Amino acid sequence: MPTGKVKWFDSDKGYGFIEQPGHPDVFVHRSGLVKQWRSPGAGEEVKFELEDDARRGRTKAIRVKSLSAGDETDDGNVNYEYDVTGTVRWFNRDKGYGFATRTDGKGSVFLSNNHLVESNPNNLVRGAELIFDVKPAEKGPRAVNIRLIPDRGHEPAPSNNTGIRSGRLTR
């Protein structure tokens, strides 16, 4: 993924440009920003992917993510891991958290419904497949920007107001 600095971004108009050393500036539209991210500020370091915009005849930045938002190592590098896949091990909808097992074999990550993007916590059922970014945290790795992989055959879990709790009928 290329990196650069935001040259300018107009949050009212919803677009701006990213500077890359030795390359032309890259157009970025608000739709290219990672969901749940505020508008980038001038000079902010970002990581992004490039996509050809055939309709407009230019290259644009997509999946733009801030490098300054994550934890940094002593040499200034961010410890985020991007686009990691995994499956839900367990998730408690009432408490809003659970764990997922990474498919790359690097263990488990903490899930919180606060970091869910465009999905319902009822869809976080055992075995549901996810894509997420991993952020280091004091108590262990945490999943952020959690997205459910669609069309994998997992039905949403029933809501908690079905009248059944712990196998007993409630009144």
**β-bridge partners, 50:** 61
pLDDT of residue 87: 95
All structural domains of the chain, each given as residue ranges with its CATH number in brackets, are: 3-66 (2.40.50.140), 81-148 (2.40.50.140)
Q: What is the pTM of this model?
A: 0.49
pLDDT of residue 85: 93
**β-bridge pairing 45-53 and 3-10:** antiparallel
Cβ pair 110, 142 in contact under 8 A: yes
Cβ pair 10, 25 in contact under 8 A: no
CA–CA separation, 159 and 121 (whole Å): 10
- Average pLDDT of the residues in 103-112: 91
Residue with token string 């749940």 = 36
Residue 14, pLDDT above cutoff 60 = yes
pLDDT of residue 71: 42
Where residue 79 falls among pLDDT bands split at 50, 70, 90? low
